[in-house]
């Protein structure tokens, strides 16, 4: 059971070869990922938050690329160079570990992971929740004027209420371009989730909860709003189209809505962060 | 082949046949939906197509022995009331809807839906009177096609009315007659639903019949 | 490592006429008593609910009746199998019957058998059956997703299919490796004659079978619309079929808890002399780490489901905001179980891969202590990460950085497993047999799954991907790419030991390659679909995503076909051809390969004494570091 070496051919320095392969491919691939792939990563640049996500995804992808290459190249390398010859019964070297490599791995992976966690925390706080639903008391709130818009999720449609425009409720969402919007997402029955993926915003709608998310669209566009928490039979059908329009067009639109929905606005309950309409438990 | 192999083969074949039969059963369960009812063509003066619907407080054991107490929509075809909620209407045309409302009111959870939207003239006609919204507490059901922007609240039969309907088909019982029309655009399969919490005994009134095709939900096939 | 193989000395089978065999505590009696119990429970349930809870009858919902029916049905089923015999006979002061051990022949596999090897094979076939059922659900789902609008499957049925697929897989495959392989091989690997609690072992299997049947029966009661996570308040709002889900998961939780308990007791107390913790096979370590999670997490699930059942039947308001409860409560309780649950799925896979690697690379396991600390680290940390499922739900915003940190940290011990994998393969002499191929595929799949997990653990990035197909891709890569691939590795590796038969080499390789390629082709595009805005559990999506969905569906069909290849392979090799396998075809030094095939009833004639771990492979190194050459 000896590890045979063919006389005359020295064992190649696998460590050097493999490390070279990995380092070179990482040095090629990572900049490609950052500069070529990065800018076109989802969710796109529909809002400041979405652009922030593109940066986050680029950073994460850039850190993942060398890891991916390490393991994949290793697997391919090992499959080629560390094979048992056909019908052979050779044994490999009886090495049970290498404390230097193990320590280095633990340290490097921990550092990588901790820095990712720190980066994520900084981005989350710096971007006021980064478009995610941050609950009724977000940790950081953007300064300056904000347009409050309430998203009411019900089975199975979203309606939108504008408290600063007389509490008018509309069937689709229009937002003014380049203004910070403070979304208040709530539900009046089961758990839903408001997801405007081009704007990089997602906030769960829980009954009795006011879930706040901040978003600032950066150009005029149309976007899709979809429910992303299973809420019953028409969950997949709970979508509508939203628009980001110029502030002037927004003003025109909202006044149109106020006129159009005047009868409904009269019978709406006063604007509130949450609603508990009857029946709150089982219907009679 | 050994006897063990023969036994196993025999048992295996029986299991395979059983499996296929069960698979077919499951596939038929998965794909079962109410029949599609094609909207009929009304008298030549109005143009478009006609859909005659009714809403009842309880479908009754005759139509649905498994859920006799569930609220339901029914559609009229060939002078009979059919228990289906899938309708087929032509594209780029007007659909006239006549709805006989036999149920009492439950109220709306979101009063916003008490206003008529998306119909021709943004109005509906209830018992001869043309209105553009109803008091939210009077809502009994709604007919809403969100993708076409059609929102029609349906007021209920007052509590003190005599001769309230018990089970479908509710001929001759107290009711409201509601008519409205809406336009269809391009082809597609659109869903419609009721928005009133009319499912008695379920949380928020939105379970059971409110989440089952054939009762308070359906499809509009625009062909 | 010294072993002594046992010379089989099995008792003679007792010959009884067929009719006599049919009467008694067996599967037929169990089914009859189960059905009887079902109707008894249904009747009692109506007596209770008809008088006190009027709304139940008003909506024709019979939740109390159905829950009691399931409960009494399962109790009747278990009594019919004979689980009550031992407790009752002891209570009455009678000696326990030994008939369970005496039975020979194939009948043992269809009833209560306390031989852990029989239970292992029962698990393999039983879980395999439900795995295929879950897989067929997935085929129906992918058929529906060929079109962006609902076409074949009604919207309710679609949600039930999605729910059944997820629930069946999660419930059944948690015991996917522990059930068949740990039950069969852990006692042998540690030099024991049996598990610590053989009857409980059999109970865990039959609970799972009863549970699977209950879940499938949901289609008779209207299905359930919540998916496998069963979120409130939709859970409360759902029709009767929801109770099948509740019963299924409660029984699965009980089965998991008992299985873990049994494993832990066996590993702690029944190791043979000389088998210290540092000589324990790595597979047994992974089983131990998994068992800790099972015992601690499963009771949470059972309690949560009980609360959900109470909400549905007697009108409590644990989870209804309108009654003073909170929908968050369910999410938190569920995911406190749910997150350890997914590590229960992942850890045995780690164990199998690291156990098989030394055999096929002919090297000792590299970094044994690191691997063990990785597994235990994952086990411990898995209890501290659950709120990453709730990042966008509006939980207290202070919590998110902490859970981001803990979730990121858990990738460190997971990384240890990869290091040990790579270290073991380094400068090895690897034979790429079919089990080894599955292990290498695991490395690739779990890598992608793990890396996508890093994206999901980053809260800003998670904003886009939570609840979308990206999450689906992530967990299918880790669970299916991780667990299922190692499940098949275990099958190809250990079935020659369990049955003494060989798989057909060509069919096995066709199975592997078709499965690996089809799997990646199916799930890789899902990352893109998720990022492009497709939520989970929908049958309608933006028409621009149709091309990608069609690609995924076709790949999924090919994946299903590859499973068929496996079935054909199994039937062909194990039933028709029945080629004898050698006693140790992989030349493994592990203890289970040193006992004869078929493994004798009491495993060993003499309990072995251990003097090293089972990784005595490889050529020892000389002082200079070069491998020693053998003397003449």
Structure ipTM: 0.93
Among C45, C74, C100, the domain boundary falls at C100
Q: Are residues C70 and C162 in the same domain?
A: no
CA distance linking residue C444 with residue C448, whole number of Å: 6
Question: What is the Rg, in whole angstroms, of the alpha carbon atoms belonging to chain A?
Answer: 28
Q: For residue C477, count other CB atoms closer than 10 A to its CB.
A: 26
Indicate yes or no: CB of C156 within 8 angstroms of CB of B213. yes
Q: Are residues B9 and B56 in the same domain?
A: no
Q: Are residues B114 and B169 in the same domain?
A: yes
How many residues are recorded in chain A? Answer: 284
Residues A122 and C400 sit within 8 Å (Cβ to Cβ): no
Tokens of C507: 């069919």
Shortest distance between the Cα of C282 and any Cα of chain B, in A, equals 36
B45 vs C: CB within 8 A: no
C237 vs B: CB within 8 A: yes
* pLDDT band (50, 70, 90) for residue C570: very high
User: Which residue in A154, A157, A263 is closest to B132 by CB distance?
Assistant: A263
Shortest distance between the Cα of C624 and any Cα of chain A, in A, equals 13
Q: Which pLDDT score is estimated for C47?
A: 83
Q: Is C107 domain-assigned?
A: no
**Interval C320-375: pLDDT, tens:** 988 889 999 999 999 999 999 999 999 999 999 999 999 999 999 999 999 999 99
Q: Are residues B14 and B105 in the same domain?
A: no
User: Is 80 exceeded by the pLDDT of residue C53?
Assistant: no
Q: Is A90 domain-assigned?
A: no
Mean per-residue pLDDT of chain C: 90
* pLDDT band (50, 70, 90) for residue C632: very low
A269: Cβ–Cβ under 8 A, 6 or more apart, which residues? A275, A277, B111
Residues B5 and C578 sit within 8 Å (Cβ to Cβ): yes
**Interval C161-170: pLDDT, tens:** 999 999 999 9
Q: Are residues A117 and A153 in the same domain?
A: no
- DSSP-assigned states of every residue in C254-296: HHHHHHHHHHHHHHHH-PPTT--GGGS-HHHHHHHHHHHHHHH
Chain A residue closest in CA terms to B148: A240
B26 vs C: CB within 8 A: yes
User: Three-state SS for A215?
Assistant: strand
Q: Which pLDDT score is estimated for A52?
A: 93
Shortest distance between the Cα of A262 and any Cα of chain B, in A, equals 9
Residues of C with Cβ-Cβ distance to B31 under 8 angstroms? 152-154, 157
C314: Cβ–Cβ under 8 A, 6 or more apart, which residues? C53, C64
Q: Are residues C263 and C350 in the same domain?
A: yes
Q: Which pLDDT score is estimated for C12?
A: 45
Tokens of C96: 């326990």
Q: Are residues C122 and C254 in the same domain?
A: yes
Residues of C with Cβ-Cβ distance to B12 under 8 angstroms? 571, 575
Q: Is A86 domain-assigned?
A: no
Chain B residue closest in CA terms to A262: B115
Indicate yes or no: CB of A130 within 8 angstroms of CB of C451. no
Residues C237 and C292 sit within 8 Å (Cβ to Cβ): no
Shortest distance between the Cα of A145 and any Cα of chain C, in A, equals 22
Residues of A with Cβ-Cβ distance to B201 under 8 angstroms? 282-283
Shortest distance between the Cα of A201 and any Cα of chain C, in A, equals 7
Indicate yes or no: CB of C363 within 8 angstroms of CB of A1. no
User: Which residue in A90, A120, A229 is closest to C404 by CB distance?
Assistant: A120
The dihedral sign for the CA sequence C456, C458, C459, C460? negative
Q: Are residues C51 and C192 in the same domain?
A: no
Whether the full predicted model's pTM is greater than 0.80, yes or no, is yes
Q: Are residues C169 and C207 in the same domain?
A: yes
Q: Are residues B18 and B70 in the same domain?
A: no
Segments in C362-433 forming alpha helices (H): 368-381, 399-409, 411-425
Nearest of C504, C510, C359, C516 to residue C430 by alpha carbon: C359
Q: Are residues C453 and C390 in the same domain?
A: yes
Q: Are residues A69 and A122 in the same domain?
A: yes
User: Which residue in C229, C232, C533 is closest to A226 by CB distance?
Assistant: C533
User: Which residue in B9, B31, B203 is closest to C153 by CB distance?
Assistant: B31
Q: Are residues B17 and B124 in the same domain?
A: no
Best probe of the C interface among B207, B213, B217, by most C CBs < 10 A, is B207
A240 vs B: CB within 8 A: yes
Q: A85 or C185: which carries more pLDDT confidence?
A: C185
B6: Cβ–Cβ under 8 A, 6 or more apart, which residues? none
User: Which residue in A131, A208, A276 is closest to C463 by CB distance?
Assistant: A131
Q: Is C285 domain-assigned?
A: yes
C117 vs A: CB within 8 A: no
Ranges under pLDDT 70 in chain B: 1, 41-46
Residues A187 and A229 sit within 8 Å (Cβ to Cβ): no
Q: Is C10 domain-assigned?
A: no
Q: Is A117 domain-assigned?
A: yes
Q: Is C526 domain-assigned?
A: yes
Q: Which domain holds residue A189?
A: 147-267
CA distance linking residue C134 with residue C216, whole number of Å: 10
Q: Is A251 domain-assigned?
A: yes
Q: Which pLDDT score is estimated for C9?
A: 41
Chain C residue closest in CA terms to B32: C154
Q: Are residues B145 and B124 in the same domain?
A: yes
Residues of B with Cβ-Cβ distance to A188 under 8 angstroms? 109-110, 204
Nearest of C203, C140, C215 to residue C171 by alpha carbon: C215
The CATH number covering residue C241 comes to 1.20.210.10
Q: Are residues C89 and C120 in the same domain?
A: no
DSSP state of C545: G
Q: Which domain holds residue B207?
A: 34-222
* pLDDT band (50, 70, 90) for residue C630: very low
Q: Are residues B108 and B25 in the same domain?
A: no
Which stretches of chain B sit within 8 Å of chain A by CB? Answer: 106-115, 117, 132-133, 135-136, 144, 146-147, 149, 151, 191, 193, 195, 197-206, 210-213, 217
Q: Are residues B85 and B172 in the same domain?
A: yes
Segments in C115-240 forming alpha helices (H): 116-144, 155-173, 183-189, 198-216, 234-237
Indicate yes or no: CB of A133 within 8 angstroms of CB of C620. no
Strands, sheet with A239-245, edge to edge from the N-terminal-most edge strand: A174-176, A239-245, A221-227, A192-196, A201-205
Chain A residue closest in CA terms to C414: A109
User: Is 50 exceeded by the pLDDT of residue A2?
Assistant: no
Give me the number of domains chain B comprises.
2
Q: Are residues C55 and C185 in the same domain?
A: no
Question: What is the Rg, in whole angstroms, of the alpha carbon atoms belonging to chain B?
Answer: 22
**Interval A187-238: pLDDT, tens:** 999 999 999 999 999 999 999 999 999 999 999 999 999 999 999 999 999 9
Q: Are residues C82 and C117 in the same domain?
A: no
- DSSP-assigned states of every residue in A85-119: PTT-----B-----HHHHHHHHHHHHHHHHHHHHH
Residues of C with Cβ-Cβ distance to B69 under 8 angstroms? 58-60
CA distance linking residue C308 with residue C247, whole number of Å: 11
Residues of A with Cβ-Cβ distance to C326 under 8 angstroms? 208
Residues B126 and B177 sit within 8 Å (Cβ to Cβ): yes
**Interval B189-208: pLDDT, tens:** 999 999 999 988 888 889 88
The burial class, CB within 10 Å (0-12 / 13-18 / 19+), for C531 is: buried
Q: Is C436 domain-assigned?
A: yes
Q: Which pLDDT score is estimated for C623?
A: 62
CA distance linking residue B201 with residue C53, whole number of Å: 11
Q: Crossing angle, helix A99-126 and helix A48-81, to 10 degrees? A: 160
Residues B165 and B56 sit within 8 Å (Cβ to Cβ): yes
Q: Are residues B62 and B106 in the same domain?
A: yes
Nearest of A63, A41, A157, A206 to residue C530 by alpha carbon: A41
CA distance linking residue C465 with residue A197, whole number of Å: 9
The dihedral sign for the CA sequence A104, A110, A116, A118? negative
Q: Are residues B66 and B14 in the same domain?
A: no
For residues C307-323, give the mean pLDDT. Answer: 89
Chain C residue closest in CA terms to B198: C59
Q: Are residues B22 and B62 in the same domain?
A: no
* pLDDT band (50, 70, 90) for residue C2: very low
| Helix/strand/coil percentages in chain A, nearest 5 | 40, 20, 35
CA distance linking residue A70 with residue C423, whole number of Å: 13
User: Is 70 exceeded by the pLDDT of residue C59?
Assistant: no
Q: Which pLDDT score is estimated for A244?
A: 96
For residues C209-238, give the mean pLDDT. Answer: 93
Give me the number of domains chain A comprises.
2
Q: Is A284 domain-assigned?
A: no
Q: Are residues B16 and B124 in the same domain?
A: no
Q: Is C603 domain-assigned?
A: no
Residues C283 and C290 sit within 8 Å (Cβ to Cβ): no
A166 vs B: CB within 8 A: no
Residues of A with Cβ-Cβ distance to C320 under 8 angstroms? 207, 280-281
Among A91, A126, A161, the domain boundary falls at A126
CA distances from A110 to A116, C408, C411, C415 (A): 10, 9, 9, 10
Shortest distance between the Cα of B28 and any Cα of chain C, in A, equals 9
CA triple C375-C378-C379, angle to 5 deg: 85
Bridge partners of residue A226, in order along the sequence: A195, A239
User: Which residue in B68, B203, B213 is closest to C236 by CB distance?
Assistant: B203
The CATH number covering residue B80 comes to 2.60.40.420
Chain A residue closest in CA terms to C420: A97
The dihedral sign for the CA sequence B126, B130, B133, B134? negative
Q: Crossing angle, helix C198-216 and helix C63-81, to 10 degrees? A: 140
For residues C29-33, give the mean pLDDT. Answer: 93
Q: Are residues C69 and C140 in the same domain?
A: no
For residues A115-126, give the mean pLDDT. Answer: 93
Q: Which pLDDT score is estimated for C625?
A: 55
Q: Are residues C125 and C184 in the same domain?
A: yes
A196 vs C: CB within 8 A: no
Chain B residue closest in CA terms to C157: B30
**Interval A26-48: pLDDT, tens:** 999 999 999 999 888 988 899 99
Interface of B with C in 68-127 (CB under 8 A): 68-70
Give me the number of domains chain C comprises.
2
Q: Which domain holds residue C44?
A: 22-100
Q: Are residues C354 and C424 in the same domain?
A: yes
- DSSP-assigned states of every residue in chain B: --HHHHHHHHHHHHHHHHHHHHHHHHHHHHH--PPEEEPBP--TTT-SEEEEEEEES--HHHH-TT-TT--EEEEEETTEEE---EEEE-SSSEEEEEEEE-SBP---SSGGGGB-BSSGGG-EEETTEEESB--GGGEEEEEEEGGGTEEEEEEPBPTT-SS---STT-TTSS-EEEEEEEE--SSEEEEEE--S---TTSBTT-SGGGGSBTTTEEEEEE-
Residues of C with Cβ-Cβ distance to B68 under 8 angstroms? 60
């Amino acid at each position: 059971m000896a590890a045979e070496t063919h006389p005359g051919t020295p064992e190649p320095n696998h460590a050097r070869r493999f490390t070279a392969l990995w380092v070179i491919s990482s040095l090629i691939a990572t900049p490609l990922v950052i500069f070529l792939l990065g800018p076109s990563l989802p969710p796109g640049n529909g809002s400041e938050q979405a652009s922030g996500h593109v940066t986050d995804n680029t950073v994460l992808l850039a850190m993942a690329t060398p890891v991916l290459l390490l393991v994949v190249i290793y697997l391919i390398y090992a499959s080629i160079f560390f094979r048992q010859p056909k019908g052979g019964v050779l044994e490999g070297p009886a090495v049970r570990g290498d404390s230097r490599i193990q320590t280095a791995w633990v340290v490097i992976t921990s550092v990588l992971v901790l820095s990712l966690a720190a980066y994520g925390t900084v981005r989350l706080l710096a971007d006021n929740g980064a478009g995610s639903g941050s609950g009724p008391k977000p940790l950081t709130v953007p300064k300056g004027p904000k347009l409050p818009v309430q998203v009411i999720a019900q089975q199975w449609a979203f309606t939108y209420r504008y408290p600063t425009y007389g509490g008018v409720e509309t069937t689709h969402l229009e937002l003014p371009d380049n203004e910070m919007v403070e979304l208040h997402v709530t539900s009046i029955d089961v758990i839903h989730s408001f997801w405007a993926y081009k704007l990089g915003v997602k906030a769960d709608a829980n009954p009795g909860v006011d879930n706040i998310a901040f978003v600032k669209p950066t150009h005029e566009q149309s976007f899709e709003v979809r429910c992303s928490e299973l809420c019953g039979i028409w969950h997949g059908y709970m979508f509508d189209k939203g628009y980001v329009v110029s502030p002037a067009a927004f003003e025109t639109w909202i006044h149109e809505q106020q006129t159009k929905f005047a009868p409904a606005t009269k019978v709406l309950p006063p604007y509130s962060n949450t609603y508990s309409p009857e029946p709150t438990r089982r219907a009679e | 082949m050994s006897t063990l192999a023969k036994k196993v083969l025999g048992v295996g074949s029986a299991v395979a046949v059983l499996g296929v039969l069960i698979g077919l059963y499951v596939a038929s369960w998965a794909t079962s939906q109410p029949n599609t009812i094609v909207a009929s063509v009304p008298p030549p003066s109005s143009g478009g197509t006609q859909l005659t619907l009714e809403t009842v407080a309880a479908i009754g054991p005759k139509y649905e022995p498994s859920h006799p107490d569930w609220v339901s929509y029914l559609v009229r075809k060939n002078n009979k009331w059919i228990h289906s909620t899938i309708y087929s209407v032509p594209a780029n045309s007007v659909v006239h809807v006549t709805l006989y409302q036999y149920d009492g009111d439950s109220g709306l959870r979101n009063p916003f839906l008490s206003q008529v939207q998306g119909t021709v003239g943004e109005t509906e006609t209830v018992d001869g009177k043309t209105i553009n919204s109803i008091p939210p507490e009077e809502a009994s059901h709604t007919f809403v096609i969100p993708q076409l922007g059609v929102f029609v609240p349906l007021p209920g039969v007052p509590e003190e009315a005599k001769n309230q309907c018990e089970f479908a088909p509710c001929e001759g019982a107290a009711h409201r007659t509601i008519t409205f029309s809406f336009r269809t655009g391009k082809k597609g399969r659109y869903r419609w639903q009721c928005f009133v919490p009319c499912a008695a005994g379920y949380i928020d009134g939105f379970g059971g019949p409110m989440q089952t095709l054939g009762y308070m939900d359906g499809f509009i096939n625009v062909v | 490592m010294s072993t002594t193989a046992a010379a089989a000395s099995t008792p003679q089978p007792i010959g009884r006429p067929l009719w006599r065999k049919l009467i008694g505590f067996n599967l037929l009696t169990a089914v009859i008593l189960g059905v009887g119990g079902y109707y008894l429970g249904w009747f009692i349930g109506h007596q209770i609910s008809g008088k006190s809870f009027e709304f139940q009858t008003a909506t024709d919902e019979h939740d109390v009746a159905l829950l009691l029916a399931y409960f009494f049905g399962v109790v009747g089923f278990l009594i019919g199998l004979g689980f009550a015999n031992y407790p009752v006979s002891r209570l009455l002061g009678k000696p326990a019957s030994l008939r369970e051990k005496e039975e020979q022949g194939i009948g043992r596999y269809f009833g209560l058998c306390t031989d852990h090897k029989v239970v292992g094979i029962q698990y393999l076939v039983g879980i395999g059956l439900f795995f295929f059922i879950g897989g067929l659900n997935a085929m129906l789902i992918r058929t529906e997703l060929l079109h962006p609008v609902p076409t074949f499957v009604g919207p309710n049925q679609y949600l039930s299919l999605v729910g059944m697929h997820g629930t069946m897989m999660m419930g059944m495959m948690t015991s996917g490796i522990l059930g068949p392989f740990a039950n069969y091989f852990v006692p042998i690997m540690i030099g024991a004659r049996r598990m610590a609690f053989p009857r409980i072992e059999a109970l865990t299997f039959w609970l799972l079978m009863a549970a699977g049947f209950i879940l499938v029966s949901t289609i008779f009661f209207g299905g359930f619309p919540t998916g496998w996570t069963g979120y409130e308040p939709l859970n409360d709002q759902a029709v009767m079929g929801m109770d099948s889900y509740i019963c299924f998961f409660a029984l699965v939780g009980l089965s998991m808890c008992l299985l873990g308990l049994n494993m832990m007791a066996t590993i702690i107390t029944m190791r043979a002399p000389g088998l210290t913790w540092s000589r324990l096979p790595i597979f047994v370590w992974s089983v131990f780490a998994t068992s800790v999670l099972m015992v601690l997490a499963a009771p949470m699930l059972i309690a949560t489901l009980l609360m959900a059942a109470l909400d549905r039947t007697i009108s409590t308001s644990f989870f209804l905001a309108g009654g003073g409860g909170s929908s968050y409560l369910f999410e938190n309780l569920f995911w406190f179980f749910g997150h350890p649950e997914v590590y229960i799925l992942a850890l045995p896979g780690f164990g199998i891969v690291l156990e098989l690697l030394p055999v096929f690379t002919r090297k000792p396991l590299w970094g044994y202590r690191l691997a063990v600390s990785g597994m235990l680290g994952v086990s411990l940390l898995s209890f501290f990460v659950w709120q990453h499922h709730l990042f966008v739900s509006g939980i207290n915003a202070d919590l998110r950085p902490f859970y981001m940190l803990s979730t990121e940290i858990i990738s460190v011990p997971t990384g240890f497993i990869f290091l040990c994998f790579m270290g073991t393969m380094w400068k090895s002499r690897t034979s790429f047999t079919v089990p080894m191929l599955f292990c290498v595929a695991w490395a690739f799949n779990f890598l992608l799954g793990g890396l996508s997990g890093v994206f999901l653990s980053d809260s800003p990035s998670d904003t886009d991907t939570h609840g979308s197909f990206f999450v689906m891709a992530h967990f299918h890569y880790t669970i299916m790419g991780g667990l299922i691939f190692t499940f098949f590795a275990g099958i190809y590796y250990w079935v020659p030991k369990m049955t003494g038969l060989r798989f057909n080499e060509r069919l096995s390789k066709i199975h592997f390659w078709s499965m690996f390629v089809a799997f990646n082709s199916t799930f890789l595009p899902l990352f893109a679909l998720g990022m492009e805005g497709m939520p989970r559990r929908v049958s309608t999506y933006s028409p621009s995503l149709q091309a990608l969905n069609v690609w995924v569906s076709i790949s999924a069909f090919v994946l299903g076909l590859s499973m068929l290849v496996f079935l054909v392979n199994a039937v062909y090799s194990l039933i028709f051809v029945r080629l004898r396998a050698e006693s140790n075809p992989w030349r493994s030094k592990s203890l289970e390969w040193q006992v004869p095939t078929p493994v004798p009833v009491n495993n060993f004639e003499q309990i072995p004494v251990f003097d090293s771990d089972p990784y005595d492979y490889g050529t020892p190194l000389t002082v200079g570091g070069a491998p020693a050459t053998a003397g003449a």
